[in-house]
Amino acid sequence: MNLKKRTKTLAGLCLLAGGLAAQNVCVSTPRTSLLLKAPVGGELEILYYGQKLADADLAALETDGGMGAAYPAYGMNSLGETALAVQQADGNLTLQLVVEDVSSTEAENSSETVVRLKDTLYPFYVDVCYRAYKDVDVIEAWTEITNEGKKPVTLHQFASACLPIRRGQVWMSHLHGSWANEARLAQEPLTAGMKVIANRDGVRNAQTDHAEVMFSLDGRPRENEGRVIGAALCYGGNYKLRVDTRDDECHHFFAGINEENSAYVLEGGETFVTPELALTYSNEGLSGASRSFHRWGRAYKLAHGERLRKILLNSWEGVYFGINQEGMEQMMADIASMGGELFVMDDGWFGDKYPRDNDTSSLGDWVVDKRKLPRGIEGLLADAKKHGIKFGIWVEPEMTNRISELYEQHPDWIVKAPGRDPVQGRGGTQLVLDLSNPDVQDYVFGVVDELMTKYPEIDYIKWDANMSILNHGSQYLPADRQSHLFIEYHRGLEQVCQRLRAKYPDLAIQACASGGGRANWGILPYFDEFWVSDNTDALQRIYMQWGTSYFFPAMAMASHISAAPNHQTSRVVPLKYRIDVAMSGRLGMEIQPKHMTDAEKELCRKAIAEYKTIRPVVQLGDIYRLLSPYDHLGAASLMYVAPEKDKAVFFWWKTEHFYNQHLPRVPMRGLQADKLYKVHELNRIDTQPLPCEGKVFSGAFLMANGLELPYNHRVNTPSAYASRVLYLEEVE
Ligand code: GLA
């Protein structure tokens, strides 16, 4: 890795008088500031992070004491948690990092500030880097660690960044879950001691805990009020988030790669670049922080963040492995007739010597199973064309099965501990390919490249990853670099993704990993969206999508209408409700349309048409979460508002059903008080319109009071589930 060229400049920095050659460095976005104390020859400290500082505040704060070190290193006066711990070739375990210089560079939409720290004894450098955006309130923080000595240095700890957070009534919101129950919101006050959120899956990192958190600074978290700091680690591999609360005035927050079993040998002349930690601050509650993450994500991270997503049907829950030509064509015809735009053929289409009829074989053998698809992919593409829709396909390129031609040819390509039989994953036979090996990288790239070269009309790839690293061992890395496996795996994956994106910039790619295992900002620059969960139950999805929306925009959250009874929970939820939940994300279908009645298909056809109207608001608008399902008040509600505030979509779902129930009325948010909005209910099933239908209200009224919504639907066959989607459009 090369050292970056840096422009050494002190311009734009606030210089301090007296003392060491002291200088304060202010890094700002439109509404936030991060203030650093960077005295040359002294320690780099954080003075402040929060609402944007006025010049007077800046001047006043210049002499203030720091909140804590910006990048504490281990070994010298370091009793608390540290960001960096290394061992020099001579055995020395200590570092003493002091500021050498500060430089800054300007780009069109951001400015980058680099504080170079140098160890006082060894030629060992840490560039503490901050990228501040000019149009969105996010600062990315990371480090570049360089060994300029001749002998290797071992990195035992290498966080991306550290942020002190003033103590008070700080609560932490984070996501926790499991397969089919991803992204459950957990909220708790920070107390004395350590809070650690870590992942060691190796391949995916969002199935259980997430690499993103929010800190509410004013007590119990609120969606639309209070000061919030949000932090998202942009990394797809093992991570560790730590909050250290000891006997001083701050909680000390650290985020970075999980160093456990990952000691990294940094050669002389090598630079180790840590993943970015994206930070945001809002005084508009959790929803305010989410809006900043979404805007930043769409503008600077997510693949095709400006492009509206197609409405699709995925074959998985419709036919599972039961793929055949006629069945695929029938599904294409059905989704086309309902107004959908894309059909995605899921697992089960491949394998020659070992056909993929279940999950015990064939991963790696990416050739069409001619028994099932005698006309091949060509035939499917021709059918898609005939029905006027696009075609997408499922692959799981990082994996193989013990029963596969690939494994027979390349047993040395799997992740496996030396001398041991591998623990096998899904189907009792699944194995992970060793992406630290450049040959494997070429092969994984080739899986997609070959498909796209042969069939350039493929519009969408669903890229799955259904196994963790259960065997720590690389057959490629040398014995003294085995601890690099987790890091090299993700470097290899990123290389592959970069090559694919360079060659196929327009292709839509979904990140799936047994459901929501890859919802993270490290992977999303190469992916358009992720599968939120293998659980498609509408009621449970409200909870999972609520949590997911803390950090990820609706356009990235694949959200599908599925069958009743639901395949995971067996819950019978009416179609209207399933539609209303799916429409709050990136709408799709995951169902066998041939089992739907004509009336159900008609309801979906209407919903798809209505979704096309609201798609820009849902996918590109600002989220305001209104009533949390986690508050158990009987309903949940959120809305999206177009940036111009001329359109909005309000979602309301009942989450409990009792007789004589008293549900809260939900004030709206994000509208413009002096604008007038006409209300129109979407996906209406009631025999009579809502009292508010077609009426015009001021933004001020809607935000103060919300609208009265009946608790049930007026329909011939009532059900326990009620939901509403309201479209608000500005009128003159
Ligand atoms: C994983 C995915 C599912 C589906 C199956 C196919 O479980 O999450 O959506 O693609 O694999 O085997």
Determine what percent of the chain is predicted with pLDDT higher than 70. 97
User: Can you tell me the distance from the alpha carbon of 179 to that of 535, in angstroms, rounded to the nearest whole number?
Assistant: 8
Instruction: Name the pLDDT band for 18 (thresholds 50, 70, 90).
Output: very low
Domain termination site, one of 283, 301, 319: 301
pLDDT-derived band at 564, boundaries 50, 70, 90: very high
Q: What is the mean pLDDT of residues 384-389?
A: 98
- Mean pLDDT over 181-206 rounds to 98
Distance 620 CA to ligand 1 centre (A): 27
Q: Which residues of 666-682 are buried (b: 16+ CB within 10 A; e: fewer)?
A: bbbbbbbeebbbebbbb
User: What is the Cα–Cα distance from 118 to 485, expressed in whole angstroms?
Assistant: 28
How high is the pLDDT of residue 601? 98
Reading the block at residue 302, the tokens are: 């997510």
Q: Which of 301, 316, 333 is the last residue of a domain?
A: 301
Taking the centre of ligand 1 as the mean of its atom positions, its distance from the CA of residue 357, in whole angstroms, is: 14
Q: Does the residue 154 lie in any domain? A: yes
Check whether 14 has a pLDDT greater than 60: no
Residue 97 lies in a domain: yes
Asked whether 550 lines ligand 1 (CB < 6 A), one says no
350 in ligand 1 pocket by Cβ < 6 Å?
no
Which amino acid residue places its CA nearest to atom 4 of ligand 1? Answer: 316
Using the predicted structure, report yes or no on whether residue 580 has a pLDDT greater than 70.
yes
Q: Is the beta carbon of 32 within 6 A of some atom in ligand 1?
A: no
CA 333 / ligand 1 centre spacing (Å): 23
d(CA 715, CA 720): 12
Closest residue by CA, ligand 1 atom 8: 514
Ligand 1 atom nearest to CA at 394: 10
Whole-number Å distance, alpha carbon 515 to ligand 1 midpoint, is 7
Whether 516 is in the pocket of ligand 1, judged by its Cβ within 6 Å, is no
Q: Report the nearest-CA residue for atom 1 of ligand 1.
A: 514
User: Would residue 526 count as lying in a domain?
Assistant: no
Angstrom distance (rounded) from CA 194 to CA 318:
46
Residue 8 has pLDDT above 70, yes or no: no
Contact 533, 560 (CB under 8 A): no
Whole-number Å distance, alpha carbon 514 to ligand 1 midpoint, is 6
Q: What is the CATH number of the domain that holds 199?
A: 2.70.98.60
Residue that finishes a domain, picked among 278, 301, 324: 301
Number of domains in the chain: 2
pLDDT in tens, 243-274: 999 989 999 999 999 999 999 999 999 999 99
Structure tokens at 208: 């259980």
CA of 567 to the centre of ligand 1 (A): 13
- Write the residue with the smallest CA distance to atom 7 of ligand 1: 514
Count other Cβ atoms within 10 Å, centred on residue 500: 22
Distance from the CA of 466 to the center of ligand 1, in angstroms? 8
State in Å: Cα 111 to ligand 1 middle: 41
Mean pLDDT for the chain?
96
Residue 315 beta carbon below 6 angstroms from any ligand 1 atom: no
**Residue 64: what pLDDT?**
73
Does the CB atom of residue 316 touch ligand 1 within 6 A?
yes
User: What phi and psi values does residue 433 have, to the nearest 5 degrees?
Assistant: -80, 150
pLDDT at 63: 72
* C-beta of 272 in contact with ligand 1 (< 6 A): no
Domain assignment of residue 191, yes or no: yes
User: Domain for residue 126, yes or no?
Assistant: yes
Query: Ligand 1 centroid to 397 CA: how many Å?
Result: 13
| pLDDT of residue 4 exceeding 50 | no
User: Would you list the DSSP string of 27-49?
Assistant: EE-SSEEEEEE--BTS--EEEEE
The partner residues of 279 in beta bridges, in order of sequence, read: 139, 231
Q: How far apart are CA 237 and CA 491, in angstroms?
A: 9
Q: Is the CB of 395 under 6 A from ligand 1?
A: no
Q: Residue 346: CB within 6 Å of ligand 1?
A: yes
Confidence of residue 61 (pLDDT cuts 50, 70, 90): confident
Give the tokens for residue 600: 């159900």
540 CB under 6 A from ligand 1?
A: no
Look at ligand 1, atom 6, and give the residue with the nearest C-alpha: 347
Q: Is residue 433 part of a domain?
A: no
The percentage of residues in the chain with a pLDDT greater than 90, rounded to a whole number, is: 95
Q: What does the alpha-carbon distance between residue 486 and residue 495 come to, in Å, rounded to a whole number?
A: 14
Strand pairing report for 250-257 and 153-166:
antiparallel
Mean pLDDT within 647-671: 97
Q: Which of 2-16, 197-211, 299-313, 557-571 has the lowest mean pLDDT?
A: 2-16
Residue 711 counted as domain residue: yes
Q: How far is the CA of 526 from the centre of ligand 1 (A)?
A: 20
pLDDT of residue 12: 39
pLDDT bin (cut points 50, 70, 90) of residue 22 is low
Mutation choice for ligand 1 from 203, 312, 347, 589, CB with most ligand atoms inside 8 A: 347
User: Does residue 531 line the site of ligand 1, with CB under 6 A?
Assistant: yes
Which neighbouring-strand residues pair with 558? Answer: 531, 586
**Is the model's pLDDT at 399 over the cut of 90?**
yes
Domain, as residue range, for 265: 13-301
pLDDT digits (tens, 9 = 90+) for 411-444: 999 999 999 999 999 999 999 999 999 999 999 9
Whether pLDDT at 9 is above 90: no
For the full predicted model, state whether its pTM sits above 0.75.
Answer: yes
**Residue bearing the CA closest to ligand 1, atom 5:** 347
Please report, for the domain that includes residue 674, its CATH number.
Answer: 2.60.40.1180
CA of 396 from ligand 1 middle (Å) equals 9
In a domain, 637, yes or no: yes
Residues 516-529 pLDDT 10s = 999 999 999 999 99
Which candidate, 236, 316, 211, 210, places its Cα nearest to that of 535? 316
pLDDT, mean of residues 461-487: 98
pLDDT at position 119: 98
